[in-house]
Amino acid sequence: MRKILVLLIVFTTLGLLWSKNNSGIIKIENGKEFEFTWNLISSLYYCQWALSYEDDSGKTDNFVDSMSALINSNNKYEEAKSYMVKYLKNENEFINTVSKGIITGIDLLIDSNNNLIEMMKKMTNLNTDHSENQDYELAKFKAQTKKGFELITISSGYLLYVIVEPPKIENPKGQIPFKISISERKQLVKELNKLFKEYLGRYYKYKSLQRQGKQGNPKDQTFLIFAVDNIKKLLTTETYEDAKNNE
């Protein structure tokens, strides 16, 4: 998690210092940035919904129930993808980058779930409980799942380039030049809080316990909620000075 935090801080710093004359940034029509951010938040919400099914699959020894939970999880991942698919050919390279990264990460998660389902089917057919190969498959499942969520987290960090105008000078001060209005940002934060209230609450509690040197539940600090919290920070940061303090 520390590695991802460092990466996102680097992305944020680079984004705020990006030259306005850089040809890689294409200004899109008013409202497009708001729409994309709204759909990104929705996509992450369906990823969280999918993840809740995966948690359920680990609470039972019944293969049928576990496979059913993983299938339901994949259905929600497909819904999460649907919010990003239409942006794959967007003329804005950063909208394109975010959508591709989110979809690629989700595809890794779906593939990982499918591999686990296949392993369970084989175990059911062979009427066996365990083998060294199954240990390997489970390890591969965990590694690929982690990779998928890391990619989703890093990709969502590029939202900065989508909703903030590049500054005209190095080391800018004062108000951050958002491409979306204060009203739009408030709408997005309200939606984000509504969808992720429970998860953010647990995440903030975990971080508070961590600062006190106490042990919290590691499941309350996920890559996904880390990404959501960073989007919230981006939307609620008003000045370059605040952005620097948030680092």
Alpha carbons 77 and 225: distance in angstroms, whole number: 16
Number of domains in the chain: 1
Instruction: Give the Å distances, CA to CA, from 210 to 213, 219, 226.
Output: 5, 13, 15
Alpha carbons 94 and 159: distance in angstroms, whole number: 7
What is the distance between the terminal CA atoms of the chain, rounded to a whole angstrom?
15
Q: Residue 34: is its pLDDT beyond 60?
A: yes
Q: What is the pTM of this model?
A: 0.83
pLDDT for the residue 56: 62
Q: Residue 2: is its pLDDT beyond 60?
A: no
> Residue 212: which domain range?
2-246
Question: How does pLDDT run across 56-67, given as a tens digit for each residue?
Answer: 655 666 788 889
Q: What is the CA radius of gyration of the chain?
A: 20
Alpha carbons 176 and 153: distance in angstroms, whole number: 23
Alpha carbons 160 and 20: distance in angstroms, whole number: 14
> Which residue, 221, 224, 216, 218, is CA-closest to 195?
224
Question: How does pLDDT run across 225-244, given as a tens digit for each residue?
Answer: 999 999 999 999 999 998 88
Alpha carbons 12 and 161: distance in angstroms, whole number: 9
Per-residue confidence band for 26, with pLDDT thresholds at 50, 70 and 90: very low
Question: How does pLDDT run across 87-98, given as a tens digit for each residue?
Answer: 999 999 999 999
Alpha carbons 55 and 70: distance in angstroms, whole number: 9
Alpha carbons 216 and 218: distance in angstroms, whole number: 6
